[in-house]
Structure 1
Amino acid sequence: RRKLLLVDDKEVNRQLLAEVLTPLGFIIAEAENGQVALNQLPTFQPDLMITDIVMPELDGWAMTRQIRQCPEYQELTIIASSASVAESDQGESIAVGCNDFLPKPVQVEQLLARLQKYLQLDWVYAAESETSSEVNAARRTQLVMPPAAELTQLYHYARIGDIEGIEQEAGKIEQRDSRYREFSQRVLELAGQFNDQAILELIASVREEAE
């Protein structure tokens, strides 16, 4: 099992990543700043690090510089992550020794692509027949489906793999009309399985029926 070290001074950011990665079989360790991460390296020996840039005590760039001074960590993959999308920040991240840059809020699709690239992974997705069965199940149970026009934002989040966005939008749909509660719960269930493809098919079925 691959080991990932998540470095961020905000616990909620670490938790969001851990909630995505733990079900995929990764062993996760967390650190609230660069110094704590450095202390964990010898014992945890991660295969990959995802680090925030701005942190107290020791920031992500300073931490990366120190790591790259150690011969035993020259091949360790380090991905910087920040809400700043300025080219200067991305360029500086690479200059100090990071392998890549991941914008915040982290999109699941982008995260998995980075892990696939640097850890040489092959993702196994549910077969099309399985995801289609979710749509058929929805029709069999006759869920009260929201109008297609109300699903635009949900569809957008599902396309980019934004699980947090999907969950928030599903909650809003339920709040707009309690009749959509079962539909929203179905979406939340699929989001919990990171099955954005099934959510896309569910929304597509609503659009087809509306046409």
Structure 2
Amino acid sequence: MQRITGYQGERKTVLVVDDKQENRVILINMLEWIGFKVVEAGNGQEAVTTAKEVMPDVIFMDLVMPIMTGFEAVQAIRQLPEFKDTLIIANSASVFEADQEKSRVIGCNEFLPKPIEDDQLFKLLVAHLKLEWLYEKVEEETRQDRPIVENAPLVPPPLEKLEALYELAMMGKMLKVREQATEIEELDDKYIPFARQIEKLAKEFDEEQIVALIEPYLNI
């Protein structure tokens, strides 16, 4: 199995805009993991100011925010000549096609629904930035050769592994959580159901459920 570790060429700057810190943290961790320099803003007004200061290569814009919405911020940014070709990706939990269409009309290149999936994110970045990924090979035992008993009990791994998972989940580092889950699987077959449940939640970026799953074993 291969895992993305970065990309070839000059390091690019990304501006992540969202009024909710937990949402910013998730996206920032995903982007920093593959080598981007990331700056952040908590509302549309901050986004316009920060964009002028750092001249990002990519802007991820939440659409629903106080003070200045993402829609208004994109319009303001697109009016500046230096940003006429900048990649702007709208992201929102809205499922309404009207919002997605409006984001494109005002100047967004793409719409990325929340929760953001890393595969979708990477696909958009490759398509627009023409990135060439750098990979490392990860040795992995074939999972099909490791059958799981249906409804098998969730046996927690050793305390140090639980503490590491808990800390990573609290920071929103879901890619790191998935790595830890893979390592836990390799410790002993009895940990596989627990590890795969963690991995499933990490893929969904559901850090709250991961924390809730781990806390009882930490006596918190």
TM-score (norm. length: structure 2):
0.64
Displacement of 1:179 in angstroms is: 7.2
SS at match of 1:135: coil
Between the aligned partners of 1:124 and 1:32, the Cα distance in structure 2 is 31
How far the C-alpha of 1:118 sits from its partner, in A, is: 1.4
SS at 1:21's partner residue?
helix
Q: Which residue of 2 aligns with 1:57?
A: 67
Deviation, structure 1 residue 12: 0.5
**SS of match in other structure, 2:141:** helix
Residue equivalent to 2:163: none
- Residue from 135, 138, 161 that aligns with 2:141: 135
1:62-92 Cα shifts (integer Å, max 9, x gaps): 0001111111110111100011121111100
Q: How does 1:1-211 map to 2 (within 5 A)?
A: 1-126=11-136, 130-131=137-138, 133-135=139-141, 146-147=148-149, 180-181=190-191, 184=194
Of all paired residues, the percent bearing the same amino acid is: 38
| Aligned-residue offset at 1:31 | 0.5
Report the CA distance shift for 1:136/1:93 in structure 2 as closer, same or farther (over 3 A): closer
Q: Post-superposition shift, 1:125? A: 3.6
User: SS of the residue aligned with 1:29?
Assistant: strand
Aligned residue pairs, count: 163
* Residues 121-154 of structure 1: CA deviation (Å, up to 9, x unaligned): 022344xxx44x32169x8xxx8x632677xxxx
Deviation at 1:186, TM superposition (A): 8.6
**Superposition RMSD on alpha carbons, in Å?**
3.4
Cα distance in 2 for residues equivalent to 1:89 and 1:80: 10
1-structure distance, mates of 2:87, 2:17: 13
Look up the equivalent residue of 2:148 and give its one-letter code.
Answer: P
Ranges in structure 2 where 5+ consecutive residues have no aligned partner: 1-10, 153-173, 204-220
**1:64/1:97 contact within 8 Å kept:** yes
If asked which structure has higher relative contact order (CA below 8 Å, sep 6+), I would say: 2
Higher strand share: 2
